[in-house]
Amino acid sequence: MAIPAWLRFLGDVPVDLQAPLMSLFHQAGIDTSATPPPTCMLGIAVLAQPDEHALNTLRELCQGCSVLAVAVGDRPFDPAAMWRVLDAGATDLLLWHELPPNADEGACRLQRWQTIRALVESDTVRQRVAGSSCAWQSLIRDVVEVARLTQSAVLITGETGTGKEQVANLIHELDGREDVGEFVVVDCTTLSAELSGSEFFGHERGAFTGAAGARDGAFAMAHRGTLFLDEVGELSAALQAQLLRVVQERQYKRLGSNTWQRSDFRLICATHRDLEAAVAEGTFRADLYYRIAAWRCTTPPLRERLEDIIPLVHFMLEQLDARAAQLEMDPAVKQYLLTREYPGNVRDLRQTVARLWQRHSGDGPLTVGDVPEHERPSSAACRPLWPDRHFDDAVRHAVELGIGLKEIGQIAAELATQAALDQEGGNLQRAAARLGVTDRALQIRRANQRAAH
C-alpha cells in the first residue's frame, strides 16, 4: 500500500529535477498527490539551498507534521546548513546531490513515522495519557518510538508527580514483543538493606532467618516483561553493583542457590534526581548509569504544559466517573484551575480534581462552591489569565518564523501602546498611567515608532 505524503519544492530547485524526483518517489511506494495538513501529516520538502525564504516556508509546512527534507542540486550543504534544516522543523534530512538517489531511504523513514503517528493517535495511548501541548506530544512521540521499535533500556527523569510511572507503563503496553510478561515495579525508596537482595533476586527456603519457603524476586517476575525501578537514584552502592551485573549478563542467582537463572526483561528506571551530577560526585556508578540510560526522556512539569490543564481535568474526571467526562466548568473554576500553582505537578492536579468532584452535586457544571473553602483564591488574586493561549500562540509562531527577541518585544510594545491609547480615547496621560510609564516616555516611544515607519 502506498504511503501518502505531500510534496513541495522549495526555493530554486531546478525544474529538470522535479519530474525525475516525483517518479523516484512513486517507484518507492510514496503517493505524493496528498494535500498538506490537516489532510496529510507526512510530507517531503525538496530544497536546493537552505536560504531564509526556503527555511521560513519549511517552518510553516512542518507545524504538526513529520517532514522529510531532501537536499538536491550541485551545491552540497555544509554541516551548519544541515542543522538549520532540522531547526526549521524537519524530522530528517537526506542528501541527494548525486543522482540517481535511493528513494527507498525516504520510504523507510516515512513508513516509520506513519507507524509512530498511528500509535500516538491510537486508543492504547489516548486512554492512558492526555495532553496536546508541544512538550507533551514530543515526549509521547519519542516514547512510542522507543517502546514499539526498540528494546532499549529507558531512563525517565522529571520532577515529582510529572507522570514518570505513567510513561513507564505506556512503554510496557506498547512493547512489540509477542506474549509480553508482567510490568514489575520496585520502589527503590522502600528497600531495606536486609531484604533488598531477596526483593531483586528472590531466595530459596532457609536462605536466611524467616525464609520459610522459596520466593521469586523482581528479576524472575519481570522475565519477558518490564522491570521498572522507581527512584533508581536511591539505590545503595552495593545494590548498584549487583544490579550492574544482572543488567549486563541478564543472569542472577537466588539467595541460597548456586544455580544461575536467566531473565530477559526491558529495564525502565525513573528518578527525580540529576544522575549525571551524581555520577560526577561519585554517588552513582557511571557504568550503571550508561547502561540504564540507553535512551533518556524527561517528563515536563505542569507549568510547562499549561494548555494541557483543562484537557487533563476532563481526562481525570472521566477516570473518576465516566458520566463526568464532558462536565462543564464555570469560568471562575476554570480560571482557578489554570492559575493556581501545582507543586506536585499532575499528581497535585489529580488530587485537586478529586476534591472538586467529591464536593460536586447534580448534573450541572463545576461551580465555585465545589472548591474547598481553604483553597479558594482571594478576590485580589482573581484576575484574568495572562498571557493567555492566543498570546502564547502568537509568540510561538513568531519564534518559528525566526523573528528575534528584540523585534518581538518591539511589536508587543507597539501593540500595547496603541491598545492603551484606544482604551483611553487617545488621552496620552491616562494611557501612560495604564501602561505604568511616564507621559514623556510614552511620547518618546510614539515618536520613535513614527520614525521607524
User: What is the pLDDT at residue 389?
Assistant: 66
Q: In the 8-state DSSP scheme, what is residue 376?
A: P
Domain map (residue ranges) of the chain? 3-119, 134-205+215-298, 304-381, 404-452
In angstroms, the CA 205 to CA 106 distance is 58
Q: In the 8-state DSSP scheme, what is residue 369?
A: G
User: What is the pLDDT at residue 404?
Assistant: 87
In angstroms, the CA 356 to CA 317 distance is 10
User: And the C-alpha cell for 122?
Assistant: 491510537
Return the exposure string of 145-166: e unless at least 16 CB atoms fall within 10 Å of the residue's CB, then b.
bbbeeeebbbbbbbbebbbbbe
Query: Do 3-119 and 304-381 fold alike per CATH?
Result: no
In angstroms, the CA 333 to CA 367 distance is 6
Sheet holding 66-71, edge to edge: 6-10, 42-47, 66-71, 92-95
The SS3 assignment for 153 reads: coil
In angstroms, the CA 419 to CA 435 distance is 10
User: What is the pLDDT at residue 277?
Assistant: 96
User: What is the pLDDT at residue 382?
Assistant: 55
* Domain 134-205+215-298: CATH architecture, name and number where available: 3-Layer(aba) Sandwich (3.40)
- How many other CB atoms are there within 10 angstroms of residue 248's CB atom? 11
- For residues 253, 257, 258, 264, the Cα torsion angle rounded to the nearest 10 degrees is -30
CATH of domain 3-119: 3.40.50.2300
- Find cell 522507543 and name the residue: 146
What contacts 24+ positions apart, CB below 8 Å, involve 326-330?
327/360, 327/365, 327/366, 328/364, 328/365, 328/366, 329/365, 329/366, 330/365, 330/366, 330/367, 330/368
Cis peptide before 100 (omega within 30 of 0): yes
Q: Is the CB of residue 206 less than 8 Å from the CB of residue 249? A: no
Q: Where are the beta strands (DSSP E) in 232-271?
A: 251-253, 260-262, 266-271
Cis peptide before 50 (omega within 30 of 0): no
User: What is the pLDDT at residue 158?
Assistant: 96
Q: Which residues on neighbouring strands pair with residue 356, listed in sequence order?
A: none
User: And the C-alpha cell for 220?
Assistant: 524472575
Of residues 47, 51, 41, the one with CA closest to residue 10: 47
Per-residue pLDDT of the chain (453 residues; tens, 9 = 90+): 789 999 999 988 989 889 999 999 999 999 998 777 677 899 999 999 999 999 999 999 998 899 999 999 888 999 999 999 999 999 999 999 887 788 999 999 999 999 999 999 999 999 999 998 988 999 999 999 999 999 999 999 999 999 999 999 999 999 988 889 999 999 999 887 767 778 888 877 766 766 767 788 899 999 999 999 999 999 999 899 989 989 998 998 888 888 898 999 999 999 999 999 999 999 999 999 999 999 999 999 999 999 999 999 999 999 999 888 788 999 999 999 999 999 999 999 999 999 999 999 888 899 999 999 988 887 545 555 667 767 877 888 888 888 888 888 888 888 888 888 888 888 888 888 888 888 788 888 887 777 666
Q: Is the CB of residue 300 less than 8 Å from the CB of residue 136? A: yes
Distance set, CA 314 to CA 306, 308, 327, 339 (Å): 14, 10, 7, 17
The 3-state DSSP composition of the chain as helix, strand, coil percent (nearest 5) reads: 50, 15, 35
Q: Which residues on neighbouring strands pair with residue 71, listed in sequence order?
A: 47, 95
Return the exposure string of 226-239: e unless at least 16 CB atoms fall within 10 Å of the residue's CB, then b.
bbbbbbbbbbeeeb
In angstroms, the CA 108 to CA 91 distance is 13
CATH of domain 304-381: 1.10.8.60
